[in-house]
Amino acid sequence: MIITIDEFNTYSGNMETATDIVAMKNSLIKTAQEIVSEYLGYSVENCEHEDYISAIGQPELFLFGQPITSVLDLSLCGSAVPASDYIIRGRSLRLKNGVWPVGIDNVYCRYMAGWTNLTVPEEVKTCVKQIASLLLQETNGNIGVTGKSMSENSRTYINYTNFNKWLEKLEPYVVKRLA
């Protein structure tokens, strides 16, 4: 996971360390990380990816996972592409000489992409902590019911789980794909 229990405890202010509580917190962190990954369109945690990509005649080839940390296997139309022929540039591979030829699913790439606890941007980490903290607040049936009494009537407000307020801050990291 991209944040530790200690980071989460400090952020949430909940320092409970009973075994069952720590297991629940780990589950909440994992769920929050999955919510962020789904929003971004790729796994935030460094893991292996395998893509078939249709090249469009440009020197830059954008992969689905980001940031690319290493290329394990790369081929063009079934022929291996040596590592000396391309440069890893964040979320893309750039050919040193020439362009990736136009074709449908003509590039195969198996690679590692994502962040580690030490390399993840603070905005992403903070968003995971915020969502995990909200999920923690909703445990044991507490869904954020609040009330307001006025002179002649009262209102009850129910806070439902909508994480858009936090996720929207990650828009610069989102990978958009054409359908």
- The Cα–Cα gap between 130 and 76 comes to 42
Tell me, what's the pLDDT at 117?
A: 81
The SS3 assignment for 145 reads: strand
* Structure confidence by residue, pLDDT tens digits, 116-138: 888 899 999 999 999 999 888 87
Q: Is the pTM of this model over 0.75?
A: yes
> What tokens does 135 get?
């999920």
Q: Which residues contact 10 (CB under 8 A, 6 or more apart)?
A: none
Q: pLDDT category, 179, cuts 50, 70, 90?
A: very low
Tell me, what's the pLDDT at 138?
A: 78
What are the domain boundaries of the chain? Answer: 5-43+117-173, 47-113
> What tokens does 50 get?
């395998």
Q: pLDDT at residue 157 above 70?
A: no
Give the single-character DSSP code of 83: G
* Structure confidence by residue, pLDDT tens digits, 24-58: 999 999 999 999 999 998 899 999 999 999 999 99
